[in-house]
Structure 1
Amino acid sequence: VAPGLDITDLPPRGFRTLTLQTEHGLGEWRSFGVRLDMDGRERRVLALMDMKKRGELGKDIAEHVAQPAILILPLVALLLWWTIRRGLRPLDQLSSEVAALDGFAGQRLDTQHRFREFTSTVSAINTLVDTLQKQAQREREFASDVAHELRTPLAAMALQARAAQADASPERLARLEREALRAGRILSQLLDLARAQRTGNGGPSNLLETQDVELGELAARLISNHAQLAYETGHELSLQQPEQPVRVSAQPMLLELALRNLIENALRHTPEGTQVSVEIWRSSDGFGVSVSDDGQRAGSGAVTAASEPGLGLGLRLVGRIAEQMGATLERDAGEPPMSTRFNLRWAR
């Protein structure tokens, strides 16, 4: 091969692809050459590889690598499938238990004999189940309160209607009208509560956008609206507010609904001659609005549905609205001569 090489075509050092004539014919060779100076004479060292042989060698190596892989890959894939299925079996079992779980019946997931990796998941599911159970219990209590609230006026309406059939006197018709209006007020409160819950849970919110509301202006407007009712029930309705206006960031519709219910409760569930005072206040730890009366209403300081006959639904509504607005509903004895006070408080 050496006599057929063109020295001038070779680089001093590096690779080159050459076309050479050998005893086997014309072919391509890959070369790597180095030029050396030895005793003043130039020498060339050249390594050559037949490209055809190189391709055959690469093919042989590929076959030796590919054939075992082709045989082993299905086995590896089967082993991986079995391992993944076995590893996911506890998760499938947990999914089946969650699907069969009746959260409203007090059932919970068993935390014993669990894989350590699922401890946090089981704990989160049980926390969610506990929340749902508490919510369901509150809804059942609320439904019981509603049934109790409606049963009394409906039963009275039935009795008055029977009596009116026998003797339709003006007095009996007036009683029938009062009981019908009472039932209507309860249904109105239910509709207000349903609207507040619907808008608070992702429903229409165009009326519930948070705005700066001046409590004094809102209270004055509601007192003006209830002046006729206060006159008819023989109550003295008043407003107290500081010189500096008190503003709160809240949903105007919900705030008005809550304050209106507190005023109506005081007017409708206290005896004639009672003073009802709406006060706007500000202190070092918060601000808010309170509705007080001196009607000596019985009950403890806790705001519960059963603390006042006929008052539970209104207070339940105000409590839900206060929670949604970021406020708290409190009840205490108030400042003398007042005997009962309800506070809507916002913390600073």
Structure 2
Amino acid sequence: MNSIRRQLLLWLALGLSGGILLAGIVLYFQARDEANDIFDYQMRQIAASLPRQAFAPIAPGQSLPGLDDEIMMQIWDSTGTVIYHSHSRSVMPQQAELGFIDVPGPGGMWRVYSAQIGSTVVQVSQPQSARKEVAAQMAVKTVMPLLLLFPFLGALIWVAVGHGLAPVRRAAADVQLRDMNTLTPIADQSLPQEIRPLTQAFNDLLDRLQQAMQAQRAFVADAAHELRTPLTALRLQAQLAERADNDEERRAAFSDLKNGLERATHLVHQLLTLARQEPGVQAHVPVDLAALLRSVVLDLSPLAEHKNVDLGITEEAVGSVSGNADALRILFSNLLSNAVQYSPSGGTVDVGMQVQGDKLMVTIQDTGPGIPEQDLVRVFDRFYRADNVQSTVLGSGLGLAIVRQIADLHDATVSLHNTARGLQAQVVFQRC
């Protein structure tokens, strides 16, 4: 399981270990350079401390004065005859080059210093391994305190990580203790700055969820209220049909029952349409708005002919909008069907489409009675119908609410205006 604590502890431990290792390596190279300087100085001092007079050749069987095993010294005269060497068992090759030089020798590379003293040449040699050993010892002695502090630092890191993640655990506990109806924001005043973007996003989600639940409760309450009346009417109409004494009364009762069923069916259809228009459900693609309008006008032509209303497109522009074609079809179908239904016989419904900069505006002008000014804003509310609406017109007060919701989902604006001819509906889209 992925854990922030485990990841932090792992990376901090790796970082601390890597830092100590890197420090040890750096200290080793620094100590080696310092050891080289010290040993080079020592080799020069050894050579400089020798007497200036000529050395006598080594007598056979003479005991040689010994130096430290890490130092090897040879002296030869101008003829190349070795007159002194410190170690008989491992003699370094004679190097005529004066000064310092690194040469291969017994056991690896050697540091060799040659100097001329009088008529003799003094050669002082030292293995590089000795210098590296001293450098390693110095580095270990320097890093050792850090290694001893490693457990203490590990415990400190453990406590610090636990303390730093404590606000996350508190926030998680706060969320876990909530039930489905607790949508109050999480208090983030005491939380670290790095966690606040997450809590703020979560609080924003809670706010949107609360608004959605409130809208759902309001929708269910309104739908229950609106369905109660037609269902009660249907039950009464069915009872009247059962109690009818003659065929005429029975036909009238069944006619009323049929009309009630049509109203109830239309109401349920509108409710389902409204419920389907939820944010994020519909995928948006470029839609040819002119072609869509022509298709909707063609679909509503039979209704217009039945009502003797002249329905047509008077002005058409070219342009596309980003949206869902099915949802936009419902939007324009509701506006056009309202315009046709409320236009008197012999009236007209004109559809126009204009380009205004980076926007597309669709206008629907009818010759109906219009809407009272005080009702122009409220007609977009669910289940609200204007006072001048004829009771004979089939409707449930949801058509314009669906129009407004679909327009909002497409970042469009919809408005209604009374004109000298009747009512004009305007829908403005952003071009894509």
TM-score with structure 2 setting the length: 0.63
Change in CA separation of 1:49 and 1:110 when aligned onto 2, cut-off 3 Å:
same
Cα 1:163–1:11 shift into 2, 3 Å: farther
Partners of 1:296 and 1:50 lie apart in 2 by 105
For 1:5 and 1:47, the matched residues in 2 are separated by: 8
For 1:256, give the aligned amino acid.
Answer: R
Offset from partner CA, 1:202-235 (integer Å, 9 cap, x none): 56x5xx6323231xx5444433433433455x46
Match of 1:282, SS?
Answer: strand
The question of 1:213 aligning with 2:289 is answered yes
Equivalent position of 1:317 in the other structure: 402
> Which residue matches 1:189?
270
- Report the equivalent of 1:281: 353
- Secondary structure in 2 aligned to 1:48? strand
2:301–2:311 CA contact under 8 A, matched in 1: no
User: What SS does the corresponding residue of 2:213 show, helix, strand or coil?
Assistant: helix
> Unaligned stretches of 5+ in structure 1?
20-27
CA contact (8 A) 1:15 1:32 kept: yes
Asked if residue 132 in structure 1 is aligned to residue 209 in structure 2, the reply is: yes
Alignment of 1:197-346 (within 5 A): 197=278, 201=280, 205=283, 209-214=285-290, 217-232=291-306, 234=307, 236-242=309-315, 244-250=316-322, 251-268=324-341, 270=342, 273=345, 275=347, 277-282=349-354, 284=356, 286-293=359-366, 294-298=368-372, 300-302=375-377, 303-308=380-385, 310-333=395-418, 335-338=419-422, 340-346=423-429
- Count how many residue pairs are aligned between Structure 1 and Structure 2: 326
Shift of 1:107: 1.4
Over the aligned positions, Cα root-mean-square deviation in angstroms equals 3.6
Task: Give the secondary structure class of the aligned counterpart of 2:382.
Answer: coil
Task: Tell me the distance in 2 between the aligned counterparts of 1:164 and 1:320.
Answer: 40
**Structure 2 residue ranges without an equivalent (≥5):** 1-71, 75-84, 86-90, 387-394
What do residues 79-134 of structure 1 show as CA deviations (whole Å, max 9, x unaligned)?
Answer: 21011111211222122223345685451223555555555554443333222222
Q: Distance in 1 between matches of 2:142 and 2:257?
A: 97
CA contact under 8 A between 1:289 and 1:344: conserved in structure 2? yes
- Write the distance in 2 (CA, Å) between the matches of 1:30 and 1:80: 45
Q: 1:146 to 1:210 in 2, by over 3 A?
A: farther
Runs of 4+ in 1 over 6 A off after TM superposition: 9-12
Matched residue of 1:305: which SS?
Answer: coil
255-264 vs 132-141, greater mean Cα deviation = 132-141
Matches of 1:154 and 1:176 in 2, distance apart?
Answer: 11
Say if 2:309 and 2:344, in contact at 8 Å, map to a contact too. Answer: no
Identity over aligned pairs, percent: 21
Report the equivalent of 1:158.
235
Instruction: Give distance in 2, aligned partners of 1:9 and 1:163.
Output: 134
Are residue 17 (structure 1) and residue 104 (structure 2) matched?
A: yes
- Normalised by the length of structure 1, the TM-score is 0.76
Give, as a single letter, the amino acid of the residue that structure 2 aligns with 1:33: V
Given the superposition, is the C-alpha separation of residues 281 and 192 from structure 1 closer, same or farther in structure 2, using an over 3 Å criterion?
same
* TM-aligned CA deviation for residue 48 of structure 1: 0.4
Counterpart code for 2:327: L
Would the aligned equivalents of 1:235 and 1:267 in 2 still touch at CA under 8 Å? Answer: no
Amino acid at match of 1:228: P
